[in-house]
Chain A
Amino acid sequence: MNPELQGRTLPSTEPYLVGREKVREFARAVLATNPINLDPEAARAAGYDDVVAPPTFAVVVQEQTLAQLLAEPDAGIDFSRVVHGDQRFTFTRPIVAGDLLTATLTVPSVKTLGGHSIVTAETTITDATGAHVVTAISALVVRGEED
């Protein structure tokens, strides 16, 4: 685990186009029943252009940036020892089908506690106009070697 990751910003991801059927598939997978997640007519009646993604859908976009982080050649993160500690999403607006989203990861902190390291990864997700949509923050616990 490389402490010099702290403060790093990774290159932004290729834009992710949010598909209507992907949103519906994800909504069903998290047992969502709200029609605004599933039915374009209900979403339009509520003032959206298309179906609205469940709050945790942002992880699908964030995941690309976490994969980038784990693949950093000097990160020293052993994937098999990574445990997801905390997760947070902070929205300016919800993700809606049709959005073209770009994600950029920064590493606000790397801490070592006992034999474990805790990496905080903050992914900022913006739309095609560059406006902020959601920030996804994960705390990844990298368990120390036991021997």
Chain B
Amino acid sequence: MPAPAFDGLAVGDIVAEHSFPLTRDTLVRYAGASGDFNPIHYRDDVARSVGLPGVLAHGMLTMGFAVQPVVDWAGDPGRVVDYQVRFTRPVVVDPEVGAVVSVVAKVGQLDADARVARIDLTVKLGEETVLGKAQARVSLD
């Protein structure tokens, strides 16, 4: 898959948008794959006992899928040379209806010398942002 051309980009362009429906199954799968077995990500009783409203998605799961629309746009996961987020709000995943997290990826800055685009991610659960300063730097041709 060809990578997007750096020269065709402008700050503010939306390069990808996607919604991710999450269920408890998604969290259990991530727990197994990552080795993060903190029970607040699969047990309501434990989550409540530490004052949480319910079972939460792993922050690293949200960070992990939020960059996938950027990977698909770039065409190659190896083009992501830097990726950072701030975890600002928990993603509560209801046992029955789950949760839907939306991602909008927009060009935030262009470094013409390095040919690196900074892609800024807006990641929301409903109307609330769950990641702050979510930025992926993507190396392009």
User: CB-CB contacts of B89-120 with A at 8 A, as 1s and 0s?
Assistant: 00000000000000000000000000000000
Residue from B20, B60, B136 in contact with A59 in the complex, judged by beta carbons closer than 8 Å: B60
- Is B61 close to A, CB under 8 A? yes
Number of inter-chain CB pairs below 8 Å: 108
Q: Are A53 and B63 in contact (CB under 8 A)?
A: no
**Which residues on the A side are within 8 Å of B63 (C-beta)?**
56, 87
**Which residues on the A side are within 8 Å of B81 (C-beta)?**
90-91
Residue from B50, B64, B78, B84 in contact with A30 in the complex, judged by beta carbons closer than 8 Å: B64
**Which residues on the A side are within 8 Å of B68 (C-beta)?**
30-34, 54
**Which residues on the B side are within 8 Å of A53 (C-beta)?**
77
- Is B43 close to A, CB under 8 A? no
Q: Are B85 and A55 in contact (CB under 8 A)?
A: no
Residue of A nearest to B71 (CB): A34
Q: Are A34 and B83 in contact (CB under 8 A)?
A: no
CB of B92 to closest CB in A, whole Å: 16
CB of A16 to closest CB in B, whole Å: 11
Interface centre among A28, A60, A88 (most CB of B within 10 A): A88
A interface residues (Cβ-Cβ under 8 A, vs B): 22, 25-26, 28-34, 36-37, 46, 48, 52-56, 59-60, 63, 80, 83-91, 93-94
B interface residues (Cβ-Cβ under 8 A, vs A): 20, 26, 29-30, 32-36, 50, 59-61, 63-65, 67-68, 71-72, 75-78, 80-87, 133, 136
29 of the cross-chain contacts (CB-CB < 8 Å) are: A25-B32, A29-B33, A29-B64, A30-B30, A32-B68, A32-B71, A32-B77, A33-B68, A34-B75, A36-B77, A36-B78, A52-B77, A52-B78, A54-B77, A55-B67, A56-B60, A56-B83, A63-B34, A80-B50, A83-B87, A86-B87, A87-B59, A87-B84, A89-B82, A89-B84, A91-B80, A91-B81, A93-B78, A94-B78
